[in-house]
Structure 1
């Protein structure tokens, strides 16, 4: 489908016409959300990200078009939305990548939207004042108050994490604007019994929403070329490290919430693209999820003794700050200091829980340096593996 360039200067409010959802009507399970970075997001190998999918459809005329995505089904729009909110940084990053930053009206969790990467991209950024004015959009009152044209939220997440019910979702959909989104960062929640999407499959549907097919295809081409180049330089599988990915947000970690790298959520995409091994393979340790909040201590880790430890929850720190604080504590710990990864200084930040296409480029570059410094350079170095100017030009529409 082609982008309708005639819509780009329109100033009328972008309202949706109709939407359907079979999932919202029933099967909504109760659940809860804790402050922990709940659940691992599997990283799919998106080698064919540029291919068109069958259920992201749109008409290129000036009347209306549809977007299809589980769990909401098919939603019809009369024109691309001007004002939008996203629950997580991954979907916000998708919209920014498509040149829609000016329409940002709020975020579901500002603490996990890492917009600092845009500082390296000329002409790319978001309005921090808007984010700080609406940093945790999670209640019906906030949806009404913002009055956006679309909500990039999985409504099942609102039900299972924030005690909404189907009637609340339908009320906001009818009276404010439709929902469009899917919790894709992990695949370990029992309540998520509908289709998942890879990062670029979800990105393609957001591109359909905003009628930005050309930008999407430009990003997909850049992504595929970048990943192919990195993978061509990887060592043989037998020479790649076994990695333990965990969440532990404290500066003095004592216990660790485990992630399984074989889970195909998007928060693990870079690790799968980089071909690392899962240190938990062969164990019965379960993936972090809404219902599984199990933790491991240092004695448990010694039984696994991973070559590399990746710790989530420290993305506001630089690589040097993380080493000086978290790694230094583990090196002084009477048991933690016995771990091979700690002794070799191979404990790193674990990456964002929610990542979009721009985030993913930066995280894959960083991960390549963390895993294979002899090939790609030290993680604290200035070596660049992808072209920042090319990324910025796509966002600006100069391609």
Structure 2
């Protein structure tokens, strides 16, 4: 790739990198406030200086410009070959676009990579080699680490980075100028308020973000093929949902046995953290709860009062939790054992909230079967540590062959 003495890529910015604010991190984290801005459904147009055909995408060498808030316009001198990211939604996007081998980092590689591969197991020719990747948050995000990785682009949000310990606007700008541009949008996950200095922040759906990242890699053809699968899946789900009064009451939660609390999440609010529950239209048992954001914590008594028909255990498909242990703990608890969801064996594993497009397809299918088995077919028994379960082809809600073909560039 072409390179100047101080950086591999350069950018043209609209708006300053200023600000500090709240930070959301791992499985028990969250944002302290939620914005009211609603995300549009249509993918915003992305400006490019050059048009690149699929055949040219592997060797594109002419500068091209992409745009997304909060960065504004970002100009790249070539398709990135060395890519930094934090959370796995961007890693999943890179894999989906045929550029998974460009990644040099991801949050908790074993957890993220293992979970992603549990889905990829069903896509011929698709896998994620995570074993040698850096965990950018293992000891906090450090500027020296980014200098050492010397990436071509940072798929991370500069607004979020500016809130990390030891970082300020000057550090963010230094990495931009000395290494490579930023290209990410974190607060679309929850629609939480962005840090000071980002008043015109902008919120995107998961698949809008994916479209912008596709432009970074010059992979619109792959994106369009996968987006069509997603649109068909969502259409299938929504067109077959029973009336609202016939839908189950549900909580999405992570159970902490040590202190007997549930980390709970809303189902139907804006934000890509809910991209796998919002289209399912279930009745949120905690819809009236105001936690100051998308998540909160409740005790057994609160769950018993809500008494949901279904409990979706977030992170249940990751190696962080054993669903057999979760169910055993609930069964043995004097209050938990009386819950309707426990008695009717409707405590199910859910995926990760940090989901990219491929993860989203599987997690939508999973949720549809768990909530509406009479409509979409029974959810098979899931074995801890095993891949996403096998589903008979006639009961699959999206075409694995089409997804694999798109990822592998066989279009």
**What TM-score bracket applies, with the shorter chain setting the length?**
0.7 to 0.9
User: TM-score under structure 2 normalisation?
Assistant: 0.83
Deviation, structure 1 residue 175: 0.7
Structure 1 residues 332 and 52, CA gap change in structure 2 (3 angstroms): closer
Query: What residue is the counterpart of 2:66 in the other structure?
Result: 67
From 9, 12, 16, give the equivalent of 2:9. 16
Cα drift, residue 202 of structure 1 = 0.4
Structure 1 position 119, deviation (Å): 2.0
For 1:36, the equivalent position in structure 2 comes to 28
- Over residues 270-315 of structure 1, what are the superposed CA-to-partner deviations in whole Å (9 max), with x where a residue is unaligned? 21111112112234444356xxxx5210012222222222222333
SS of equivalent residue, structure 1 residue 107: coil
Aligned equivalent of 1:86: 85
Q: 1:32 to 1:106 in 2, by over 3 A?
A: closer
Q: Take 2:275 and 2:107, find their aligned partners in 1: how far apart are those partners?
A: 22
**TM superposition shift of 1:366:** 0.7
What secondary structure is seen at the aligned counterpart in 2 of 1:130? coil
Question: Aligned ranges for residues 165-176 of structure 1 at < 5 Å?
Answer: 165-176=168-179
Task: Assess if the C-alpha contact under 8 Å between 1:252 and 1:330 holds in 2.
Answer: no
Is 1:259 paired with 2:258? no
Q: Say whether the 8 Å CA contact 1:45–1:272 is kept in structure 2.
A: no
Q: CA deviation at 1:198?
A: 0.3
From the superposition, tell whether residues 139 and 97 of structure 1 become closer, same or farther in structure 2 (CA, over 3 Å): same
Structural RMSD (CA): 3.0
Describe the superposition over 1:166-222 as per-residue Cα deviations: whole angstroms up to 9, x where unpaired. Answer: 111111111111110001322235637521110111011101111111111111111
Is the partner of 1:81 in helix, strand or coil?
A: coil
1:107 corresponds in structure 2 to: 106
Write the distance in 1 (CA, Å) between the matches of 2:407 and 2:78.
Answer: 20
Q: Deviations over 1:91-135 (max 9, x none)?
A: 111111111112111124423453222222111122223326877
Distance change (3 Å), C-alpha of 1:165 and 1:35 = farther
Stretches of structure 1 that go unaligned for 5 or more consecutive residues are 1-10
Match in the other structure for 1:126:
128
Q: Which runs of no fewer than 5 residues in structure 2 stay unpaired? A: 53-60, 382-389
Distance 1:87 1:97, change over 3 A: same
1:217-263 deviations in whole A, cap 9, x for unaligned?
A: 11111111122123333222221112112233x45661012222232
**Distance apart, 1:58 and its partner CA:** 4.3
Question: TM-score scaled by structure 1?
Answer: 0.85
Q: Distance in 1 between matches of 2:281 and 2:67?
A: 32
Are 1:308 and 2:314 counterparts? Answer: no
Q: Where does structure 1 differ by over 6 angstroms across 4 or more consecutive aligned residues?
A: 44-47
- Identify if the C-alpha distance between structure 1 residues 52 and 33 changes in structure 2 by more than 3 Å, giving closer, same or farther: closer
1:379 deviation in Å?
A: 2.1
In the alignment, the residues of structure 2 paired with residue 341 and residue 246 of structure 1 have an alpha-carbon distance, to the nearest angstrom, of 13
Give yes or no for contact 2:66–2:73 (8 Å, CA) kept in 1: yes
